[in-house]
Amino acid sequence: MRYAFMQKHRHEFSIKVMAKVLGVSRSGFYDWVSRLANQSKHQQYRIELDSLVQQRFIVSKERSGAPRLTKELAGEGSKYNQKTIAASMRRQGLRAKAARRYKATTYSKHGLPVAPNLLEQNFTAEAPNQKCDPTHQRRTLS
């Protein structure tokens, strides 16, 4: 990331200054540039695919897996195999989160009597033990 930043801004700032500020060596930057220039087509393809998959994964709030990402990319005109995208996700350690289903916790139409609201949302008390929340009371088994 730091080297990519340096590459992008090399015409605005000197390499020496950026290397010092970012805490990297100049020789490391130039080594990275030479490796970048000598990459095979397969390595370039992988890097492009990995960045594309990571970008799409983040946009989907980390919920899309390889099948869904494949369909999304196919909709944009990219032709990637599902196994290729799955391998890219594995390489990067990306795992989709399962969307949790909504579960209703209260059934309001039960027809049973409802307890009166004695506090009427006034939770301030003058002294301790004047107002209690029964949901926070420790229950004893009898």
The contacts of residue 4 (CB under 8 Å, 6+ apart) are none
Is pTM, for the whole model, over 0.85?
no
Task: Note the pLDDT tens digit of each residue in 31-44.
Answer: 988 887 788 888 88
Give the number of other Cβ atoms within 10 Å of residue 101's Cβ. Answer: 5
8 A C-beta contact, residue 53 and residue 76: no
Q: How many CA atoms lie within 13 A of 25 on its CB side?
A: 4
Q: Does residue 28 or residue 134 have the better pLDDT? A: 28
pLDDT at site 137 = 66
**Burial call 103-125: b when 16+ CB within 10 Å, e when fewer:** eeeeeeeeeeeeeeeeeeeeeee
Task: Note the pLDDT tens digit of each residue in 78-120.
Answer: 889 999 999 999 999 999 998 788 888 888 888 888 888 888 8
Give the number of other Cβ atoms within 10 Å of residue 3's Cβ. Answer: 19
**Residue ranges per structural domain of the chain:** 1-38, 40-98
